[in-house]
Amino acid sequence: MSGNPYLTVQAVTKYIKRKFDADPHLRNVYIKGELSNVKIHPSGHIYFTLKDDKSRIQSAMFRGNASSLKFKPESGMNVLITGDINVYESSGQYQLYVQSMEPDGIGALFLAFEQLKEQLGKEGLFDVRWKQQLPWIPKKVGVVTAKSGAAFQDICSTIGRRFPMAEIVLFPAVVQGEQAVPSIVEAIGLADKQGDIDVLIVGRGGGSIEDLWAFNEEAVARAIFSCRIPTISAVGHETDTTIADFVADHRAPTPTAAAELAVPAKDELAGRILDRKRVIYRFLATRLTQEQKRLDRLKNAYPFLYPDRLYRPFIEKQVSFEERLARSHSDLLYRKSTLYSQINSRFQYVSPAVQLQQLSKESVRAEERLLRAMRQALGGKQDRFLTGIRMLQALNPLSVMERGFTIVYKEGDLVKNAGSLTPGDRVEINLQDGTAIAEIQTIESLKEES
């Protein structure tokens, strides 16, 4: 044997995948089961597990096939599936690739209808609080439907018969097929942008559920809900019900009934006008009679027969008020004048000019007192100075030396008595005109002589 007998995992998986590809029984397989772990990827792919009570298989439905679904797959839903079974090489698991999916036991369109109805109902798009009232007398009626359809002809003939004064504005749209949804949404948007449409009829004639399906699409429902114009849904026959009927402000069983709901009947309107006219005439006649009687009562009333008696008390009150006002004015003027005099006297007392004059006099007196004190202090200082000079002159050693006295120093210290000297000491004798150096020979004490 030559070569390595061991295979790689990839090689084994590829071999098994080729076996799956070559098996015709694994193509266009019809399987039914229950959906589990459904995950709808943002890219549009759907991944789930298809199971029964004994087994399960991983499954995938790519965007190209998933976009054709009329309903939203949910966990727990029983479905009928057509697809291929093959191996997913990355994980080595076999997998079901779904081409088509139908609900088991219920139609796909009916299921999609119920799912969208439940979703929009939870969002509040069917709430009565959002419903708008239809105008009583519309000037312009907008119609979103096919231009060549019988529905538009029925609407025009009905409005022309009932209320020919109204103007009909058609916003043509495709109401069946793949282009129906974007066409209807665009037509509703154009009517809303025009700004002068009073009421909008959205609908078409009868047909199968597939023919009417565009009015069960979420985009059309949201376009009707967002429209600011009061809308009437008129789709199919009386027994047909669509999502548009729930979202619209009002529902009509047929396009003809929608036209009757949108405009009043001219004969009925004329009759209502005549009834209102008669009611107004009766009301005005009754009101005029009542007001005439009221005017007569007012003319004969006491104030109008004797008007001077009506305002005489007020004249007397006015005179009394004028007298009180004059007295109050005089009293007030006297009190204010007295108060002014008092305040003026106080101002005169505290006037800066008066205070300045008083302070000037006090300044002159203080200056005089200061000069006297200075003279007295200076005289006393001069006397003390002269006395000190005389004392200094009396105590001045130089003055004593002029009389023949001397001052003796020993080694820089003043010699005050003979006891501080010893024979042989050198002393410094300060005279009036100089200094002499002497040596002590003998010392004679005055105490010994005595």
Helices 218-226 and 108-123 cross at an angle (nearest 10°) of 30
Q: pTM of this prediction?
A: 0.47
In the sheet that 413-414 helps form, which strands lie side by side, from edge to edge? 413-414, 407-410, 426-430, 435-439
Cβ neighbours of 30 (radius 10 Å): 9
- Could you give the CA distance from residue 233 to residue 204 in angstroms, rounded to a whole number? 9
Domain segments of the chain as ranges: 9-106, 126-264, 274-326, 402-449
- Could you give the CA distance from residue 101 to residue 72 in angstroms, rounded to a whole number? 10
Segments of 237-383 assigned E as strands: 250-251
pLDDT value of residue 400: 66
CATH architecture of 9-106: Beta Barrel (2.40)
Which homologous superfamily is 126-264 in? Response regulator (3.40.50.2300)
* 275 touches 229 (CB < 8 A): no
Q: How many CA atoms lie within 13 A of 362 on its CB side?
A: 6
pLDDT value of residue 312: 72
- Could you give the CA distance from residue 164 to residue 219 in angstroms, rounded to a whole number? 33
Q: Cβ neighbours of residue 414 under 8 Å, at least 6 residues apart?
A: 407, 408
| Fold: same for 9-106 and 126-264 | no
pLDDT value of residue 221: 92
Q: Cβ neighbours of residue 405 under 8 Å, at least 6 residues apart?
A: 397
pLDDT value of residue 450: 44
- Could you give the CA distance from residue 211 to residue 236 in angstroms, rounded to a whole number? 9
pLDDT value of residue 236: 80
pLDDT value of residue 105: 63
pLDDT value of residue 269: 81
Cα 252 versus chain centre, distance: 43
Q: Cβ neighbours of residue 340 under 8 Å, at least 6 residues apart?
A: none
Say if strands 46-51 and 56-61 run parallel, antiparallel, or are unpaired.
antiparallel
* 430 touches 437 (CB < 8 A): no
> Dihedrals φ, ψ of 333, to 5°?
-65, -40
Q: What is the widest separation between alpha-carbon atoms in the chain?
A: 179
DSSP per-residue letters across 403-439 = TT--EEEETTEE--SGGG--TT-EEEEE-SS-EEEEE
pLDDT value of residue 398: 67
Q: Cβ neighbours of residue 150 under 8 Å, at least 6 residues apart?
A: 205
pLDDT value of residue 191: 93
Positions of the chain with pLDDT lower than 70, given as ranges: 1-3, 105-109, 305, 310, 397-404, 446-450
